[in-house]
Amino acid sequence: MSEAASRHTPVMLDRCVELLSPALTRPDSVAIDATLGMGGHTEALLTRLPDLRVVGIDRDRDAIALATARLAFAGERFSAFHGTYDEIDGALATVGATHAGAILFDLGVSSLQIDEDDRGFAYSRDAPLDMRMNRDDPVTAASLLATETEDELARILHVYGEERFARKIARSIVRRRETDPIERSEQLVDLVRACIPAATRTPGSNPAKRTFQALRIAVNRELDVLEAAMKAAIDSIDVGGRIVVLSYHSLEDRIVKHAFAAGTETSAPPSMPVVPLEAQPYLKLLTRGAEKASEDEAASNSRSKPVRLRAVERTRSTARTS
């Protein structure tokens, strides 16, 4: 077993393969794994579809190295692209393609990033507050905490973390950094815990969870990239092509839901007797709402507990979305 395989269990693996496979039956099919991670979903696709070519996108060079070793068995059928998951056109161009048969997104922070202490993603272990998915990026969580205004910190915590005590935490950060720079996860956890009344905390949950989520999203511009990625993915799939998205919190899922809804609903007024082609839906939902992992999977793989899976199929061609 490869190092990547031993460190990571893909979420809803069989369901993802089941949904993607019908769009990948042609011998020249190309799939995009927009969030390659340690390559678990791509390994399954390449194994079960022997004519398939996959381009895996990831902003984390460490993940690309591990996944590439794991997928060496596929030879030229796999290639990696270092970038963010909205760079689908660029990834396709590396294999001479303009459209994909299927695109997969497994959003959020990867097991690799959580497990590596020096990455600073985990609130359960003391580490430098880094949180960059791409270590080439200039902004870290520590530098963000050191430079942003109280208003901006409060906005980040409220919008990206849905933290009800955002203003109190932001004010405390600004006061603390005047004498004591907040550079390690343990410092931040202690500060947040002091800001949140014990009576309002969720039993068994770390009170800093929402703050860490918010900072990670801000550092990596995750929601802005996701909005661009949904447009790029819809533009890049063939008619009959499919998109599958695994989301792990409501902010991600909301963006995905709205992007898919825009393509599955008519844009014509209800009073119009005949709906012109350009106003007709161009996507078809493949799931009823958002699917969850089974109880057995949630019990055996804790990362699958919050997952929400949505999938669509392209039903007709359109002009590229703006």
Q: Are 100 and 138 part of one and the same domain?
A: no
| Domain-located, residue 319 | no
Lookup result for tokens 């004010």: 171
Residues of the chain with pLDDT under 70: 1-8, 111-112, 114-115, 267-279, 320-322
Q: Are 155 and 134 part of one and the same domain?
A: yes
User: 40-48 and 13-20 are packed helices; what angle lies between their axes, rounded to 10 degrees?
Assistant: 50
Q: Residue 251, Cβ neighbours under 10 Å: how many? A: 18
CATH classification at residue 293: 3.40.50.150
Return the H-helix or E-strand segment holding 16: helix 13-20
308-314 vs 283-285, strand pairing mode:
antiparallel
53-58 vs 237-247, strand pairing mode:
unpaired
- Which of 150, 185, 220 terminates a domain? The answer is 220
Would you state the pLDDT for residue 111?
A: 67
| Domain-located, residue 320 | no
pTM (predicted TM-score): 0.90
| Domain-located, residue 322 | no
Q: Are 9 and 89 part of one and the same domain?
A: yes
- Exposure string of 173-211, with b = 16+ CB inside 10 Å and e = fewer, is bbebbeeeebbebebbbebbeebbeeeeeeeeebbbbbb
Q: Are 234 and 255 part of one and the same domain?
A: yes
| Domain-located, residue 60 | yes
Helix (H, G, I), strand (E, B) or coil at 104: strand
Q: Are 41 and 125 part of one and the same domain?
A: no
Q: How far apart are CA 198 and CA 119, in angstroms?
A: 29
- Which of 189, 220, 251 terminates a domain? The answer is 220
CATH classification at residue 140: 1.10.150.170
User: 209-220 and 185-195 are packed helices; what angle lies between their axes, rounded to 10 degrees?
Assistant: 130
Q: Are 171 and 309 part of one and the same domain?
A: no
Contacts for 70 with CB less than 8 Å, ≥ 6 apart = 2, 3, 4, 5, 38, 39, 43
Contacts for 276 with CB less than 8 Å, ≥ 6 apart = 268
| Domain-located, residue 306 | yes
Q: How far apart are CA 249 and CA 214, in angstroms?
A: 11
Q: Are 156 and 146 in contact, with CB atoms under 8 Å apart?
A: no
Would you state the pLDDT for residue 314?
A: 97
308-314 vs 237-247, strand pairing mode:
antiparallel
Q: How far apart are CA 206 and CA 163, in angstroms?
A: 13
Would you state the pLDDT for residue 321?
A: 55
| Domain-located, residue 215 | yes
Domain that holds residue 172: 115-220
Q: Where are the beta strands (DSSP E) in the chain?
A: 30-33, 53-58, 78-82, 100-106, 237-247, 283-285, 308-314
Q: Residue 66, Cβ neighbours under 10 Å: how many? A: 23
Take residue 173 and report the two structure tokens written for it: 């950060």
Take residue 131 and report the two structure tokens written for it: 């949180």
Would you state the pLDDT for residue 29?
A: 95
Number of domains present in the structure of the chain: 2
Q: Are 17 and 245 in contact, with CB atoms under 8 Å apart?
A: no
Q: Are 267 and 296 part of one and the same domain?
A: yes
Q: How far apart are CA 179 and CA 192, in angstroms?
A: 17
Would you state the pLDDT for residue 259?
A: 97
Q: Are 95 and 26 part of one and the same domain?
A: yes
Q: Are 299 and 238 in contact, with CB atoms under 8 Å apart?
A: no
